[in-house]
Amino acid sequence: MPKVKTAGQNLIAVVDWRPSPASLNDITIEQAIIGKSARLKYFLADDADDFTPEILGARVIIVWHNTNIPAATIAKMKQCRAIIRNGVGFDTVDVAAAAARGIAVCNVPDYGTEEVADHAIALTLALTRQLFHLDTEAKKLGWKIHGMKNLRRTSTRTFGVVGLGRIGTAAALRAKALGFRVVFYDPYLPNGVHKAVGIERAASLPELLKQCDVLSLHCPLSAATRHLIAEKELALLKPTAYVVNTARGAIIKKTAILRALREGRIAGAGLDVIEDEPLRTAEEAATPNLIATCHAAFCSVEGMIEMRSTSARIAKAAALGQPLENVVNGVDPN
């Protein structure tokens, strides 16, 4: 494919999610990096059905979370060299279909490590210290500690991590610093990793689940991890255990965890992400012992600047026919 460098022909489309634009309808960060190397334009879309001919004709597409790009949409991209996911996860893009058309799919894997790990620990402490229950009681002008039996010393509790990548490691080290015994499960890591980090390793997911007081998920969403935590897995947890998810919603089967919470089979859950998000009904929202946040674990002023700067840098390289960072589907479009 020829290296087209004229801004008029070289469109970089930034596609944000219309229901909740994460960019706050602003592309000044991207513009400062891309400059005159390409023509930059901002679009809003609910999903791929809203992709205009101009988006489909772009040389590079930067796409925000919650906007799915299926194979049928990718087939209409005649000039595209790269699709860049503004974030860590790339499960919203059909990476195989993109690879078949020679389109690189890239992500930004390192921008929100600190924020997501902090958010996981914040949810953990909110659950284990019963902050929301205590807040509700205090604001009733009352003073009854209804959850006394749930308030336990962290040094007697086990913090279980599924997926010891960048964020999982950061969360594990934070939990360790708070006094938790930390155990992880990750079948893709070599032996000895637990010694380097100073935590313990479980040989299987069931082994981890049976000993957790807090289960914190930090793995990507894939065919192997979709509904990794469902009815069978939740049944292995202690009735006093908490589940925290700051990774991807569909790693946990939504109907299974909401039912487990309603029936008191686990003590609580802190979900920044949830399958088929956001929560869809008043009944879901009223689930007892559920803390839900708005897929916001990655958010901070600093993190957003870092993420957008990285994706803009990759987009500029793609538009100019230069080598790309963070390619997740093995495609070199040059």
User: In this structure, what token pair is assigned to residue 326?
Assistant: 């963070």
47 is a domain residue: yes
User: In this structure, what token pair is assigned to residue 4?
Assistant: 């087209």
pLDDT at 149: 83
Q: Give the separation between CA 197 and CA 170, rounded to whole angstroms.
A: 10
105 is a domain residue: yes
Handedness of CA 176, 181, 183, 189 (dihedral sign): positive
Catalytic site positions: 248, 277, 295
Q: Are residues 227 and 150 in the same domain?
A: yes
pLDDT at 35: 96
Q: Give the separation between CA 38 and CA 35, rounded to whole angstroms.
A: 7
Contact by Cβ (8 Å): 109, 163? no
Q: Are residues 278 and 139 in the same domain?
A: yes
Q: Are residues 130 and 149 in the same domain?
A: yes
pLDDT at 144: 84
Q: Give the separation between CA 278 and CA 262, rounded to whole angstroms.
A: 19
Q: Are residues 163 and 286 in the same domain?
A: yes
Contact by Cβ (8 Å): 80, 58? yes
Q: How far is CA 156 from the centre of its chain?
A: 29
Q: Give the separation between CA 130 and CA 268, rounded to whole angstroms.
A: 10
pLDDT at 24: 81
pLDDT at 333: 86
pLDDT at 6: 43
Q: Where are the beta strands (DSSP E) in the chain?
A: 11-17, 39-45, 60-63, 82-85, 104-106, 158-162, 181-185, 200-201, 214-217, 242-245, 268-271, 290-292
Q: What is the DSSP string of 52-108?
A: -HHHHT-SEEEE-TT--B-HHHHTT-SS--EEEESSS--TTB-HHHHHHTT-EEE--
Q: Are residues 157 and 58 in the same domain?
A: no
Handedness of CA 187, 188, 191, 196 (dihedral sign): negative
5 is a domain residue: no
Q: Are residues 89 and 129 in the same domain?
A: no
Core vs surface per residue 312-321: b (16+ CB within 10 A) or e: bbbbbbbbbb
Q: Are residues 99 and 183 in the same domain?
A: no
- Write the CATH number for 311: 3.40.50.720
10-residue averages of pLDDT along the chain (334 residues): 50 93 90 96 93 97 90 96 93 95 95 95 97 92 83 95 97 98 97 94 98 97 96 98 97 98 98 96 97 94 94 97 96 87
Structural domain of residue 44, as residue ranges? Answer: 11-111+301-319
Q: Are residues 78 and 16 in the same domain?
A: yes
pLDDT at 231: 98
pLDDT at 9: 65
What total number of domains does the chain contain? 2
Nearest alpha carbon to residue 317 among 100, 60, 23, 2: 60
